[in-house]
């Protein structure tokens, strides 16, 4: 990393999402499994539909998908009644073992993530993280990511807080408490989903949206290699618009681009600006 601080940074902590931000380029693990789980109940959803509520905790994600009129109509045509919380519970029970089986296959760090975390740590900036994954699943991600160099100081899962998950500020604020950060306005939330950006804004933090590696663009590495520059630019523009619309102060292609943004935010904090 060429970027370096001349003096102690004002930024106290960087708080990262996981899938699509630190690991799992394209945020593929949860997307594929939502499609499979719905298919087990005779409901056909597309990968694009599955991506729609990404960033929410997984039970809430299933609920949000079933609230989509076209998907709800499929459910009623198939089951003969509107979906209930008990139905969401049943789908979630199917989701969990599939997720536990598959998530390890999608835990590879996004290029540059280990180096960026090392750069932050060397600068004295604390590293937090949070995920829409439940704790059981996040533990599998951590077991794969930590040996590969993606090792935050703290990680909280989407099912661990009584107050709930995104877009509420609770997981971001749990990081503030765990990391002993004295001012939320000196934290940066980095996320590839709109609920994750809203989480950071609701917590009073600076927010950085991630486009190319994340859910909003949605390419796997292989798909991106086969896409034209025009196709990539079009998806990236839509992703940027959505993330900025959710409140992101900056957007970047991937975590590898973060250091310059951290330094820009640091300068703004030192100049007296707030999120």
Q: For the chain, what are the domain ranges? A: 13-28+107-270, 29-104
Query: Is residue 107 predicted with pLDDT exceeding 80?
Result: yes
Q: Say what the pLDDT of residue 53 is.
A: 84
Question: Peptide bond preceding 167: is omega within 30 degrees of 0, i.e. cis?
Answer: yes
Residue 2 has pLDDT above 70, yes or no: no
Helix residue ranges per DSSP H, 68-215:
69-79, 85-102, 113-122, 135-145, 170-178, 194-202
Greater pLDDT, 55 or 79: 79
pLDDT computed for residue 165 by the predictor: 87
Task: Supply the pTM of this predicted model.
Answer: 0.88
Q: Which of 58, 159, 191, 266 is catalytic?
A: 58
Give the closest residue to 190 by CA, choosing from 216, 172, 217.
172
Question: 163: buried, middle or exposed (CB in 10 Å: 19+, 13-18, 0-12)?
Answer: exposed
**pLDDT, average across residues 104-128:** 96
- For the segment(s) 29-104, the CATH number from 3.30.310.50, 3.40.50.720, 1.20.1260.10, 1.10.150.240 is 1.10.150.240
pLDDT in tens, 139-194: 999 999 999 999 999 999 989 999 988 999 999 999 999 999 999 999 999 999 99
Residue 33 has pLDDT above 90, yes or no: no
pLDDT tens string 186-205: 999 999 999 999 999 999 99
Same fold, 13-28+107-270 and 29-104: no
Burial 187-224 (b: 16+ CB within 10 A, else e): bbbbbbbbbbbbbbbbbbbbbbbbbbbbbbbbbeeeeb
Catalytic status, residue 17: yes
Structure-model confidence comparison of residues 243 and 54, the more confident one: 243
Active site residue 58: yes
Q: Hey, is 128 helix, strand or coil? A: strand
Catalytic residue among 17, 24, 191, 266: 17
**pLDDT band per the 50, 70, 90 thresholds, residue 126:** very high
**Res. 55: pLDDT tops 80:** no
pLDDT in the model for residue 1: 61
Per-position DSSP letters for 204-223, written without gaps between them: T-EEEEE-TTSTTT---HHH
Q: What integer pLDDT is reported at residue 87 of this predicted model?
A: 96
Q: Identify the CATH number of the domain defined by range 13-28+107-270.
A: 3.40.50.1000
């Amino acid at each position: 990393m060429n970027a370096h601080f001349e003096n102690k940074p004002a930024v106290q902590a960087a708080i990262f999402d996981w899938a699509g931000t630190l690991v799992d380029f394209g945020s593929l693990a949860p997307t594929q499994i939502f499609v499979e789980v719905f298919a087990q109940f005779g409901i056909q959803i597309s990968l694009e539909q599955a991506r729609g509520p990404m960033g929410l905790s997984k039970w809430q994600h299933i609920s949000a998908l079933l609230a989509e009129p076209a998907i709800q109509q499929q459910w009623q045509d198939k089951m003969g009644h509107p979906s209930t919380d008990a139905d969401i519970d049943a789908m979630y029970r199917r989701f969990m073992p599939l997720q536990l089986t598959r998530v390890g296959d999608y835990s590879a760090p996004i290029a540059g993530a280990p180096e960026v975390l090392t750069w932050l740590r060397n600068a004295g900036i604390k590293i937090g993280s949070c995920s829409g994954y439940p704790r059981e699943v996040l533990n599998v991600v951590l077991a794969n990511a930590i040996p590969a160099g993606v090792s935050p100081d703290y990680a909280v899962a989407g099912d661990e807080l009584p107050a709930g998950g995104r877009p509420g500020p609770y997981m971001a604020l749990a990081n503030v408490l765990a990391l002993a950060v004295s001012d939320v306005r000196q934290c940066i939330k980095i996320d590839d989903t709109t609920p994750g950006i809203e989480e950071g804004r609701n917590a009073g933090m600076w927010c950085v949206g991630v486009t190319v590696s994340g859910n909003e663009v949605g390419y796997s590495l292989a798909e991106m290699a086969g896409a034209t520059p025009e196709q990539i630019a079009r998806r990236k523009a839509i992703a940027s618009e959505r993330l900025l619309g959710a409140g992101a102060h900056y957007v970047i292609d991937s975590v590898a681009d973060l250091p310059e943004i951290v330094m820009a935010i640091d300068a703004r904090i030192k100049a007296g600006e707030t999120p």
